[in-house]
Structure 1
Amino acid sequence: MWPRGAARPGPGATPTTWLADIAVWAPHLRVYSVDLIGEPGLSAPTRPELGSDEHERWLDDVFDGLGLERAAVLGMSLGGWLAIDCATRRPDRVVKLALLAPGGIGRRTSGWMVKALPLFALGAWGRRRVVGIVTGADLGPMRDAIAATFRHFRPRVEIPVFDDATLTRLTMPTLVVVGDRDVMISSAETVRRLASTVPHADVRVLPGVGHLVQGQARAVLEFLR
């Protein structure tokens, strides 16, 4: 069992995304859930350019500050992109890599915006509808909290796609879980590219699931153990 793990949420999200999952992991692992710089939460209000080495240097500081030489790393969406970036730049510090609907592998799709953009003009009700379209999930009361966040926060729009040479540097044990109804990222392309660049990865496609991949705490725990 890896004694420590670091979890990273997606754009516009905070570590509260992982509360239910951490309850499953905490009896077995030491879990650090980190606010991403440039995203909502208590981290620094600065937004480094994706693709530069600034996030990697920041994560080095996070690891050092927590006293971690190496750790298993988990990320969702943008957090998945950052986890990949960290694992390809500093593979010596990432013992295992778990990714939920990660950015940076499959192309980012834009068809959902046709439905979503007019809804932003309809106030809080419209933002709640957008949250449902983007996540593909019924979030209940959490939907209102997310919608309120996006009233004041502008998420990243462009997330770079890693080239094949970069992805082949993911030599550590890797778990990737995607939904086949993800409207944000092409899951089919994610699966195809991983098959050719990271053939050892355990890639799972969940039927009927959108961009927000939920209910995978046990699967992630078994992988990390």
Structure 2
Amino acid sequence: MYIDTSFGKTHVIICGPKDAPPLVLIHGMTVSSTMWFANAPEWSQHFRVFAIDIIGDFGKSECTKPISSPEDINIWLDEVLDTLDLDDIFLVGHSMGGWISLQFSLNSKRVKKLVLLAPVMSFASLNWKFPFKLFPAMTAKNAFFIRALYKWMFAKHNAPDEILYQQFYKGYKYGKIQLRVVPKVFEREELESLKPMTLVIIGEQEVVYSSTKKAVVYADSFPNIKAKLIPNCSHCLPAELKEIVNQLVNDFLLN
């Protein structure tokens, strides 16, 4: 369905039993809600799933006014949830979607439990290599650089999904980013105010942090946050180790 907001039409994919608890999914940047192809079939057995295409990104949402601040993010997401009549939600975000989910949860009373999958920055600064992988793909729109970026975000022994790559490629080739918010590492004082119980899942071979260990240790130092490091995967962990990620999320949200 499409939802009208102050920033344009927001595309949402909905599945699962209508009377099940609401689970809202926020995808990573430069993809779309179809990144949840490996997870939604499992989670929708227990939850009413709402996968939201971030406005201003490469999905089906139609941006008429760019999101330019964290306050804009909160206004936009509140408008979407108001239209869907959703409160007391379970919220899951990946990468930039994880940062957005954490930012929203710090400023909202709507989130019952929060899951962050490799949230970009948030708990540790960015790997210096990341811009050198991202910018050639964004500016040259060349298949070589786009595939190199895609493969870099998977652990070496994991085969990137080709169908997902084709969408990733087309987004970079033809899409335009209008999401103008730069993520940050949250200060201790900010994270101490986080209300919902939170699960952070990060792959051992993660590439976006300057220090994966630092990110895990910092996240795990807060009473409401439990950080878990899982082996044999990198930044695209929802697709790389779908069985493990799906089970960890189910166990956390259902108990």
TM-score, structure 1 as length reference: 0.88
Q: Decide which of 51, 68, 79 is 1:61's aligned counterpart.
A: 79
The answer to whether the 8 Å contact 1:101/1:176 transfers is yes
Change in CA separation of 1:113 and 1:82 when aligned onto 2, cut-off 3 Å: closer
Deviations 1:131-174 (A, max 9, x none): 10134452231223312211233556942222111111222111
Q: Which residue of 2 aligns with 1:162?
A: 186
- Per the TM alignment, residue 93 of structure 1 is displaced from its structure 2 partner at its CA by 0.6
**Aligned partner of residue 69 in structure 1, secondary structure:** coil
Q: Which moved more, 1:55-64 or 1:121-130?
A: 121-130
**Aligned partner of residue 39 in structure 1, secondary structure:** coil
2:165 alignment partner AA: R
Aligned Cα RMSD in Å?
2.4
Q: Which residue of 2 aligns with 1:200?
A: 224
Mapped to 1, the partners of 2:77 and 2:134 lie a distance apart of: 33
Q: Which moved more, 1:39-48 or 1:79-88?
A: 39-48
The answer to whether the 8 Å contact 1:6/1:32 transfers is yes
Q: Percent identity of the aligned residues?
A: 27
Structure 2 residues not aligned, in runs of 5+: 1-19
- Per the TM alignment, residue 72 of structure 1 is displaced from its structure 2 partner at its CA by 0.8
- Per the TM alignment, residue 117 of structure 1 is displaced from its structure 2 partner at its CA by 6.1
Mapped to 2, the partners of 1:101 and 1:56 lie a distance apart of: 21
The answer to whether the 8 Å contact 1:8/1:15 transfers is yes
Superposed, 1:7-18 pairs within 5 Å as 7-18=25-36
Mapped to 1, the partners of 2:136 and 2:87 lie a distance apart of: 47
Q: Which residue of 2 aligns with 1:125?
A: 144
Mapped to 2, the partners of 1:49 and 1:165 lie a distance apart of: 24
The answer to whether the 8 Å contact 2:133/2:148 transfers is no
Question: Is 2:177 the partner of 1:152?
Answer: no
Mapped to 2, the partners of 1:37 and 1:122 lie a distance apart of: 21
**Aligned partner of residue 143 in structure 2, secondary structure:** helix
Give the structure with the higher percent strand. 2
Structure 1 residues not aligned, in runs of 5+: none
Matched positions, count? 222
Change in CA separation of 1:100 and 1:210 when aligned onto 2, cut-off 3 Å: same
Deviations 1:54-83 (A, max 9, x none): 111111111110011220100000110111
Question: Is 2:165 the partner of 1:143?
Answer: yes
The answer to whether the 8 Å contact 1:77/1:102 transfers is yes
Question: Is 2:113 the partner of 1:96?
Answer: yes
Question: Is 2:253 the partner of 1:224?
Answer: yes
2:147 alignment partner AA: R
TM-score, structure 2 as length reference: 0.78
The answer to whether the 8 Å contact 2:134/2:149 transfers is yes
**Aligned partner of residue 99 in structure 1, secondary structure:** strand
Q: Which residue of 1 aligns with 2:102?
A: 84
Q: Which residue of 1 aligns with 2:195?
A: 171
